[in-house]
Amino acid sequence: MTEGMIDIHCHILPGIDDGPSTMEESVGMCRIAAADGIKTIVATPHFNHSLRLVHATGICRLVRELNRHLTDAAIPLTVLPGAEAPVVPELPEYLAKGEVLTINESKRYLLVEFHPQTMPLNWDKFFLSLMEKAVVPVIAHPERNEWFSRNIAALYDAVKSGVLVQITAMSITGQFGEEVRAFSSRLLEHNLVHTIATDAHSASHRPPILSAAVKAASEIIGRERARELVGKIPHAITEGAPLSIPEPVKAQMETAAEKKWARRLFH
Ligand SMILES: [Fe+2]
């Protein structure tokens, strides 16, 4: 077990998205996370502008309620507010109105997700415009995105410009298949990963467990750096603090075998 880990991407709030349905289920997930050594979870329900339940006020209310249940159940874990925001043109407007939450209301780091198979045009320029407003996008699980699997150079350029990357624990441990595991490993090797998170949705299907991924990542980048991905870096993200991150490494041309699996991915 690794102590004191921080999970910045988790669907832990009840009845708000495709995560747990009840408060009991949420508490059960927190119990699993605490037993794994996770001390802090950022609740990141899918933001949907037409559902006021997933606006900032609704999320903060549920976070307070869940934390009260955790105190009552003596589970040593704290849940912080956040959201998983889709990359849509209206995002700056939602941020300005305070409807979509940055990670722990830091006003600095914003968890963003792309559609798994299609990329919006000029997303990179859109991210630059967000960063000009001092909002740093944290890309959720690009290793599970078909477009990034064929365009690792674009991810390098994004990281070089200041964008951060989160990969999913179960991607590194192979539960999304060998192709996703291999691409995750490639991202780790090229300093294109800043944090590992669970993206948990339930106690059984995708549970909030990080330690197995830290062990797998340790074999690729060493124990100390793997530990930073669930410790020092996500801690700074939740604090809204500036980050010093390792310089990304440009990936070599893909081998023919890698090109083949990239084409096969999601087909
Ligand atoms: Fe998610």
For the stretch 101-129, pLDDT in tens is 999 999 999 999 998 878 999 999 999 99
CA distance 32 to 28: 7
Strand order across the 5-10 sheet: 5-10, 38-43, 78-81
Distance from residue 85's CA to the centre of ligand 1 (Å)? 9
Tokens of 167: 């990969």
Interval 191-212 mean pLDDT: 96
The rounded Å distance from CA 146 to ligand 1 centre is 16
What is the 256 CA–ligand 1 centroid distance (Å)? 31
Ligand 1 center–CA 255 separation, angstroms? 31
Is residue 150 predicted with pLDDT exceeding 70? yes
Please give the backbone phi and psi of residue 195, each rounded to the nearest 5 degrees, phi first: -155, 150
If one compares 246 and 139, the residue with the highest pLDDT of the two is 139
Mean of the per-residue pLDDT values of the chain: 93
Is the Cβ–Cβ distance between 69 and 107 less than 8 Å? no
Say whether pLDDT at 204 is over 60.
Answer: yes
The rounded distance, in Å, linking the Cα atoms of 168 and 9 is 9
Q: Give the pLDDT score at 260.
A: 58
The structural domains of the chain, ordered by start, are: 5-264 (3.20.20.140)
The residues, ordered by sequence, that sit 6+ positions from 203 with a Cβ below 8 Å of its Cβ are 20, 25, 28, 29, 32
Tell me if the pTM is above 0.85: yes
Tell me the CA–centroid distance for residue 43 and ligand 1, in Å. 10
Q: Write down the pLDDT at residue 267.
A: 46
